[in-house]
Homo-oligomer: A and B are copies of this chain.
Amino acid sequence: MAEAVYAVGLDVGGTKIAAGLVDRDGELLREERYPTVGSPAKLLDALERAVVEACEGQSVGAVCLGVPGLIMARENRVVFSPNLRAIEGIPLKDELEHRTGSPITIENDANAAAWGEFRFGAGSGVDNLVFVTLGTGVGGGIITEGLLLRGAHGSGGELGHTTLHATGPRCTCGNRGCFEALASGSAIERRARELARAEPGSALGKVAAESGEVSGEEVTRLARRGDPGAVSVLREAGRWLGIGLAGFVNVFNPEVVAVGGGVSAAGDLILAPAREEVRLRARSPSRDLVEVREATLGAASGMLGAAALARDASGAYVLGE
C-alpha cells in the first residue's frame, strides 16, 4: 500500500473549527474554517464537512481532532467541555470514521498544540518539552522523552491550576493562587484594572476611563511604549509565570519550555522576569540547561499538532522516517 503523504488536523474551538491538510514536515497545504455554533448534530455535520473537504482529492493517512475539554482517551469521547457543550458525549471517533471513511483520533487541544510545538515549533529537536499557553486561562502540555503525557485517563498535562500562592487571588476554579489566577491574560487584566483604579491619572487609568476596561493587548501596547504601570503589570505576571515554570523545570527537567497563547505576544516583557525566577527557583542542573522560549507556531500549533498526532498515532510518521 502506498504511504499516505498528508495528514489532516482539526483544531476545534468554542467558536470555530480550523481544519488543515499538512505534510510530514509540518507544511500547511490547505486550511479552512467552519463555525462551531449549533447542536451536537450540527457540530457533527460541520466536523464531517471539515474532514471531507480537507481530505478532498489527496492521499490522507489519518485525521486527528484537537478538542477543548477533558477526554476519556481510551473511549475517544469528550466528557467535559465547558466552552463547547455540544461536543460532550458524542461518539466522535466512531461517528466521523463511519461518515468519512478516514481513521480518526481525538486529543485535548492543549496537548495537540504542545505536540505541534514539539514536532514543528519551539520544541523541535528536543525530547522533553513543557508547553504553556497563556490566554484567558492557562493551558499546557508536556512531552517527556518523546511521549505526550496523558496520564491514567487522558486528563494529564493540566498545568493551570497548580497552586503557586495558597492565599493568592481567587481563581475561576474556586481556589486561590492558581497559576492561572496569577499569570493568565485575565490575571493581567485584573491587575491592570486595580492599578487603573488606584491611579486614575496614569496611562492605564486613562485607558480604563475611556474604554471602561483595560485589555491585555492594551497593557502590552502601553508597556512597549515604556509606561511604568503597564511594565510592572507584565513584570509581575512574568514573575508568577517563572515561579510556576520553575516547579515544572524541576519536575520534568526539559530542554525547552515554550510559552504560547495571546499573552506571549508581550515577549521579553513577560519572559525576561519569568526566566529570572526560573534561574532563582529551579534547581541545578535542570535550571542551567533549560531554555524558556516563545512558542513559534502561534494559533496554528493546535491544527499542526493534531495533524502530526494523526500520523504519529497511526504510526505513519515513524514508518516514513
* Residues in A lying within 8 Å of B, measured CB to CB: 70, 72, 79-80, 126-128, 142, 144-145, 147, 149-159, 161-168, 173, 175, 177, 240, 243-244, 246-248, 250-255, 280-286, 289
Contacts of A153 in B (CB 8 A): 253, 285-286, 289
Chain B residue nearest in CB terms to A256: B152
Neighbour of A251 across the interface among B156, B243, B254, B283, CB < 8 A? B156
**Total copies of the chain:** 2
CB-based contact B162/A253 at 8 Å: no
Q: Which of B127, B145, B149, B158 contacts A286 (CB 8 A)?
A: B158
Across the interface, do B155 and A253 meet the contact criterion of CB distance under 8 Å? yes
Q: Determine the chain B residues whose CB is within 8 A of the CB of A286 once the complex forms.
A: 151, 153, 155-156, 158
**B161 pairs with A164, CB closer than 8 A:** no
Question: Which B residues touch A285, using CB under 8 A?
Answer: 70, 72, 79-80, 153, 155
List B contacts of A246 (CB < 8 A).
161, 163
Q: Do residues A157 and B254 form an inter-chain contact, with CB atoms below 8 A? A: no
Per the bound structure, the CA–CA distance linking A166 and B164 in Å amounts to: 6
A-B contact pairs, 23 of them (CB 8 A): A70-B285, A128-B152, A128-B156, A144-B147, A144-B156, A149-B251, A149-B252, A151-B252, A153-B286, A153-B289, A154-B253, A156-B252, A156-B253, A157-B251, A157-B253, A158-B250, A158-B251, A161-B247, A161-B282, A162-B247, A163-B165, A165-B165, A248-B251
- Closest residue of chain B to A70, judged by CB? B285
Residues of B within 8 A of A151 (CB): 128, 144-145, 252-254, 286
For the complex, give the distance between the alpha carbons of A74 and B9 in Å. 35
* Chain B contacts for A284, CB-based, 8 A: 70, 80
Q: Which of B126, B152, B166 lies in contact with A152, CB distance below 8 A?
A: B126
Would A152 and B253 count as touching, CB distance under 8 A?
yes
Tell me the bound Cα distance from A128 to B144 in angstroms: 14
A166 to chain B, nearest CB (A): 5
Complex contact B161–A250 (CB within 8 A): yes
Chain B residue nearest to A243 (CB atoms) is B163
Q: Which of B150, B159, B164, B240 contacts A145 (CB 8 A)?
A: B150
Which residues of B are found within 8 Å of A283, using beta-carbon distances? 155, 158, 161, 173
A259 to B71, CA, bound (A): 28
CB pair A281–B163 under 8 Å, yes or no, is yes
